[in-house]
Amino acid sequence: MTTPHLVALDIDGTTVNHEGELSPAVREVVRDVADAGHHVTIATGRAIVGTLPVLDRLGITTGYAVCANGAVTLRLDPALDTGYEIIDAVTFDPAPALRVLREHFPSALIAVEELGVGFKVTAPFPDGELDGNPRIVSFDELMATPVTRLTLRDPTSTSEEFLERTEQIGLHGVEYAVGWSAWLDINPEGVSKGAALEGVRRRLQVEPMHTVAVGDQRNDLEMLRWAARGVAMGNAPDEVKAAADEVAGDVDDDGLVRVLRALL
C-alpha cells in the first residue's frame, strides 16, 4: 500500500494495555507504519502531559496528536523546546455542568485540565489515574475559568451505574463519555476525537477514503464512525464494536498488530 493514510490510534486499551504497558510488537509495527509514510496520529482522552511520554516511547516526534478527547490538537516538532505547539484548544464554561454534577454525584472526585500542566482537583484521585501533578483547589476555583475538559470519577460506582445515572440527569451544551471505570469526561459541545481528526486530515490533505482509526471505548465512537476503516479492539464494549467496521484482537494479545500490518 503506497498511498499515505491517516492512522488514528487511541492509547489506553488500544496501543498500551490497562497497566500502561507498551509491548515490543506494538511499538515495532507502529514504527514500521510510520516509516512506510503513513501519518500515525495518537488520538486520546489523555491530557498533554500524559500523551507526550507515549509519543516518546513510540518514537513519534513529528506530525500531529489529538488530546483531551479532541479538545486539544498538537503539532509535533522536535525543533521546539517543548517538542510541540498547541494549534487548537476548544474551551467551555464548566460551571453549569459542575453544579449539576455536584448535586447528583456529591461524593465524586472532580478534575479540570490545566493545559500542559496537569489537573486541578477537588480531592486526590486514586494513584496513577491522573497525569502530571494534580493540584487541590476549591470548587469555586474549578468553576472560575473556561476549560478544555472536566472529569468526574466515583471510585465507589461501577461503569454501568455511572452511565445510567449520567443519562438520567442529562447534560446540555456539552459532549460526554463514560469510560471503562466510573469515569466521566466532559468536553465542549461538538468536540470529539473524530472532529479533531477531520481537522488533521484536512491539514495533511489525506483523502477521506485513506483514514483508519482504532479504539476501544465510548469516547472513540465518533472517531470510529469518522474513519473509512474504523476498528474496535476485542476488549471494547459491545456498543463500540457495533459502531466499527471490524473488530481486532484484545489489547492483551497485541490486537493492534494485525490491524497495522495490513497497511504495510
Q: How far apart are the first and last CA of the chain?
A: 6
Check if CATH label 3.40.50.1000 holds for domain 6-90+191-261: yes
Nearest to 71 by CA among 52, 84, 87: 87
pLDDT in tens, 150-198: 888 887 777 777 777 777 777 766 776 766 667 888 888 899 999 999 9
Q: What is the pLDDT of residue 172?
A: 66
d(CA 177, CA 188) in angstroms, rounded, equals 12
Q: What is the pLDDT of residue 235?
A: 96
For residue 152, what is the enclosing H or E element?
Answer: strand 150-153
Domain boundaries, the chain: 6-90+191-261, 95-188
More confident residue, 114 or 8: 8
pLDDT at 1 over 60: no
CATH architecture of the domain with residue range 95-188: 2-Layer Sandwich (3.30)
Q: What is the pLDDT of residue 179?
A: 66
CATH topology of 6-90+191-261 equal to that of 95-188? Answer: no
pLDDT in tens, 53-88: 999 999 999 999 999 999 999 999 999 999 999 999
Q: What is the pLDDT of residue 105?
A: 84
Mean pLDDT confidence for 86-92 = 95
More confident residue, 108 or 221: 221
Amino acid at 210: H
pLDDT at 23 over 70: yes
pLDDT at 52 over 80: yes
State whether the Cα torsion 253-54-215-30 is positive or negative: negative
Mean pLDDT confidence for 123-139 = 87
d(CA 168, CA 103) in angstroms, rounded, equals 13
pLDDT in tens, 205-263: 999 999 999 999 989 999 999 999 999 999 999 999 999 999 999 999 999 999 999 99
Q: What is the pLDDT of residue 181?
A: 67
